[in-house]
A and B are shown apart, each in its own frame.
Chain A
Amino acid sequence: MSTARDEILGAIRGALGRGQLDDVTRAKLDAVEHAHIRPAFEGDLVERFVRKFESRAGTVTRVAKLSDVPKAVEAHRAQWHLPKRAAVGAALHKLKWAAGWEIHFDAAGIEETLSVSLAVCGIAETGSLLFASGPESPITHNFVPDDQVAVLPVEHIVKWFENAWPILRQREDGMPRATNIVSGPSRTADVEQTVQLGAHGPRRVHVVLVG
């Protein structure tokens, strides 16, 4: 019995006027690494990252060291009158929180208002954050809460998207279930092309640059 798979592949080969490719040709194709044009830009990567991220309605603050992060989170919380509760990525479990904070490392639930996550890297080209899911960084932290604070060590800012792919390739367990590239808060323009922030994902994304 011919399966849908065989029939579709057969139809493709028929359309291309050839049979199945031999192993040598296939191996050659796999070895090709197409390099593509990258937008040229000069200057400081951190400065560009901040400028681009802010141009997409994100906000940025800078602290000297990782242990300063809770203070920056507290400032953001106070500004937006959020409860003292956060879903924190377990990668940041060493952070010390002031009294009164309720911190957990689980997935974000429907009532979650604030998350604190460690970004794998920042991409200066477009001012984007890259998160890789895993036990230490649940996917829901990036989408469910109204407010997300992203922790980004300055040395993790790379120039182009192309500089981020090797980081993913070098991971021991390969690609994570979800790789999320985030460029500012969630938005929609589906009602009369008027841009409105906070469509389904976070209304505010606040980056804490470390270093």
Chain B
Amino acid sequence: MEMRSKEFKSRAVYYIHDGALQKAMGMLRDGFVAKRTQQAAELPEFEALREEAKNLKNHILDHLDHYLTRYEAAVKASGGHVHWARDAAEAREIILGICRRVHAKTVTKGKSMVSEEIGLNEALIENGMDVVETDLGEYIIQLADEPPSHIIAPAVHKTKDQVSDLFEEAHGTERKTTVPDLVNEARQVLREKYFRADVGITGGNYLVAETGSSVIVTNEGNGDLTQTLAKVHIVTSGIERVVPRLDDVTLFLRLLARSATGQETETYTTFSTGPRRADDKDGPEEYHVVLVDNGRSKMLGGRFREMLRCIRCGACMNHCPVYGSVGGHAYGWVYPGPMGSVLTPLIKGLDNAYDLPNACTLNGRCGSVCPVKIPLPDLLRELRHMQHRQKITPAIQRHALTAWRFAATRPKLYHFGEKVAARLLALAGRRKGRLRKLPLAAGWTDARDLPAPAGKTFLEQWQKQRGGQ
């Protein structure tokens, strides 16, 4: 997928003025956010589960090589194949190789963020395959030729009217205008595809080392039809998704549905283990798992290890005020919101996503809802430091910060500067009590006024008040 994170600022402005998007974002707040709050409140153990999930993820990451090799052995024992991919290109080649070998014409896909990350669809289409996204949200954005704008609800930015337009054009049928009619039309169209598919590709929420199973969690059942009716089932998953035992899956299941869609459970949780057995009447003849590194092992070694705990629930973006006003497309790649602002620079390079860590207001809501307690604001702050050190931060900001630091570590100089500034600003804004323009801060004052200070610094007033007591 084309990478457009460098255009964050201009795209953000565009989406803030997009009425349809703003309407959709309002529904997101009323939906997922309210439901998650209710679910968390109804489960007294919720906070304890978060702590436990964090600790278990840390344990897994500390022994990642062990659990991966154990998982690999279990997959093989059940008749499946495991492939390892260092990066996106290698993952695409592996999957293309399997598809070519079985002369695949139609490839159905369940929702998989890793497949978005590795740019799989484009590669399959370039090689002449008919690729069909089967998750309703993914299907909608495939018709619109857009990337997902949310990791759980990829078409959350689309209104019903827009979906009606897309279906009318793609299906050549009478325009449907109600949600039941739209869903039903997609159901009929996609049904044909499942039965025709040669290869079905799904993600893997968890990989169970104990049994060699991959797990998907859905509400629609599309992932199950995808992987059951195709001749070959391919799973794409990040190397960090392995868990030791079935009991460990339970822990994450209890957190995932509540955090993601505000439900106690999603409708379908499916464990896939190997291909169909000898006497089975259905199921795929081949089962492949592609384990994708793509920057993850590097993340494991540095300050961003904690990011590998992510279970891709989307709660951080649902609760992010910046995401809530600009939507997912402004972020310019596959992972939006707070988790995307950490992952995108780490996977695609710091200088390719300069604005993402800087768009954060550090309000802290993402970190406080994350089911695996990833300190997202801290990681975003760390990325800003790295940008500064690597001189990716624009020169003017860098110099201003260096000057500020010079002064801030010298209290006398700092207080003197403060006094001067407070008096100057008070003087400049004395008539209206606010400032329309501020040198070097046009970006801020273009959109709002700065209240003029009182003319004395806080410290001066504090000391005066204390002196008076």
A15/B298 contact (C-beta < 8 A), A36-B250, A133-B283, A189-B219 known = yes
B332 contacts partner chain A, Cβ-Cβ < 8 Å = no
B468 contacts partner chain A, Cβ-Cβ < 8 Å = no
> Which of A95-103, A134-142, A151-159 has 4 or more CB atoms under 8 Å from chain B?
A134-142
A192/B159 contact (C-beta < 8 A), A12-B300, A34-B247, A178-B228 known = yes
Binary per-residue interface labels of chain B (263-285) against chain A in the complex, 1 for a CB within 8 Å, 0 otherwise: 01111111111111101111100
Asked if residues B84 and A29 are in contact (CB atoms below 8 Å), the reply is no
Asked if residues B297 and A15 are in contact (CB atoms below 8 Å), the reply is yes
B5 contacts partner chain A, Cβ-Cβ < 8 Å = no
Asked if residues A199 and B187 are in contact (CB atoms below 8 Å), the reply is yes
Asked if residues B221 and A201 are in contact (CB atoms below 8 Å), the reply is yes
For B153, list chain A residues within 8 Å (CB). 189-190, 193
A174 contacts partner chain B, Cβ-Cβ < 8 Å = yes
Least Cβ–Cβ distance between B245 and chain A, in angstroms: 7
A13/B65 contact (C-beta < 8 A), A189-B31, A189-B219 known = yes
Asked if residues B283 and A177 are in contact (CB atoms below 8 Å), the reply is yes
Q: With the chains together, A33 CA to B222 CA distance in Å?
A: 33
A16/B62 contact (C-beta < 8 A), A11-B293, A200-B134 known = yes
Mark out the residues of chain B between 280 and 297 whose CB falls within 8 Å of any chain A CB in the assembled complex.
280-283, 291, 293, 297
Binary per-residue interface labels of chain A (79-114) against chain B in the complex, 1 for a CB within 8 Å, 0 otherwise: 000000000000000000000000000111010000
A165/B280 contact (C-beta < 8 A), A12-B297, A143-B224, A179-B273 known = no
Least Cβ–Cβ distance between B187 and chain A, in angstroms: 6
Closest to A142 in B: B224
Mark out the residues of chain A between 6 and 28 whose CB falls within 8 Å of any chain B CB in the assembled complex.
7-9, 11-16, 20-21, 26
Asked if residues B179 and A192 are in contact (CB atoms below 8 Å), the reply is yes
Q: How large is the interface on B (under 10, 10 to 19, 20 to 34, 35 or more residues)?
A: 35 or more
B155 contacts partner chain A, Cβ-Cβ < 8 Å = yes
Q: Which of B140, B155, B228, B277 has the most CB of A within 10 A?
A: B228
Mark out the residues of chain A between 180 and 207 whose CB falls within 8 Å of any chain B CB in the assembled complex.
180-194, 196, 198-202
A16/B268 contact (C-beta < 8 A), A7-B86, A178-B283 known = no
With beta carbons under 8 angstroms apart, the residue of B45, B135, B270, B298 that contacts A180 is B270
Q: With the chains together, A8 CA to B68 CA distance in Å?
A: 10
B52 contacts partner chain A, Cβ-Cβ < 8 Å = yes
For B239, list chain A residues within 8 Å (CB). 8, 12
Q: With the chains together, A64 CA to B447 CA distance in Å?
A: 71
A196/B250 contact (C-beta < 8 A), A21-B65, A190-B135, A190-B137 known = no
Asked if residues B301 and A15 are in contact (CB atoms below 8 Å), the reply is yes
Given contacts A13-B65, A140-B281, could you give 12 more A-B pairs where the C-beta distance is less than 8 Å? A11-B293, A16-B65, A29-B244, A134-B277, A144-B225, A175-B271, A178-B270, A179-B270, A186-B219, A192-B24, A196-B179, A202-B221
| Between-chain CB contacts (< 8 Å), 14 pairs | A3-B84, A4-B86, A16-B65, A16-B300, A21-B65, A133-B280, A174-B211, A175-B211, A190-B155, A192-B159, A192-B160, A193-B27, A199-B222, A202-B221
**Nearest 7 A/B pairs, CB to CB:** A201-B221, A15-B301, A11-B297, A199-B220, A190-B137, A15-B300, A179-B271
